[in-house]
Amino acid sequence: MHAKLRRHIEKIMPLTDSEFAFVAEHFTFKKFKKHQFMVQQGEPVPYNYFLLSGLTKLVYTDPATDREYILAFAMEDWWDNDFQAYYTKTKAALSMVCLEDTEVLCLSLDDFNALRAGLPKIEHFFLEKVMSGFLAAQRRILSMMTSSAQERYEQLVAQHPSLAQRLPKTQLAAYLGVSRETLSRLNG
């Protein structure tokens, strides 16, 4: 399981065996079942999650209407979380729910800080991950503001074809901001 993490990190930053051993000791392994919450709105967020296997969605549920808004999906080799709650040690505004049985490596904020202090070059890795996540969020916001439903669908399929194939149609439609019927027309 740690081999996946090492390959993931080494796409950006090569590590010696002893450096990776130091990295690995800061992570814990957890399994979650389909439909299980990894992060729940209103609760503390003790970990950041690196997905080894499975599929999750990050959602905001409006307490007044109970309507769910999907912010993101995550699959193997992706990180996801309510990052604001994690980094500020506040209660989650978002929930992270498993759409499939999911296995993750968990990194507490204390371990994250110890890792950065003990191996300063790992900060470069995390900076690259944060920047790519920020850029993806900007693209998504811009796409929601300027692209048609058809264009948003085509962008998702082009960028993440395996993700689009794994998502239930209702989840994919909600993420794109369309009805399931409209998605069927876009997909047809």
137 against 31, higher pLDDT: 31
pLDDT tens for each residue of 34-87:
999 999 999 999 999 999 999 999 999 999 999 899 999 999 999 999 999 999
Please state, in angstroms and as integers, the Cα–Cα distance from residue 37 to each residue in 42, 90, 101, 139, following that order: 12, 17, 11, 27
Strand partners, 103: 31, 53
- Average pLDDT of the chain is 92
The answer to whether 48 touches 104, Cβ cutoff 8 Å, is: no
Query: Does position 99 have pLDDT exceeding 80, yes or no?
Result: yes
Contacts by 164-168, CB closer than 8 A, 24 or more apart: 166/55, 166/75, 166/99, 166/100, 167/55, 167/73, 167/99, 168/99
DSSP string, 2-48: HHHHHHHHHTT----HHHHHHHHTT-EEEEE-TT-EEE-TTSB--EE
Query: CA angle at residue 41 from 114 to 131, to 5 degrees?
Result: 50
Query: Does position 28 have pLDDT exceeding 80, yes or no?
Result: yes
State the pTM of this model.
0.90
Query: Does position 182 have pLDDT exceeding 90, yes or no?
Result: no
Type of residue at 36: Q
For residue 151, give both structure tokens.
């264009």
Q: Tokens 């989650």 sit at which residue?
A: 92
The domain locations on the chain are: 2-119
Architecture of domain 2-119: Sandwich (2.60)
State the Cα torsion 83-89-93-94 to the nearest 10°. 40
Query: Does position 94 have pLDDT exceeding 70, yes or no?
Result: yes
| Averaged pLDDT, 140-160 | 88
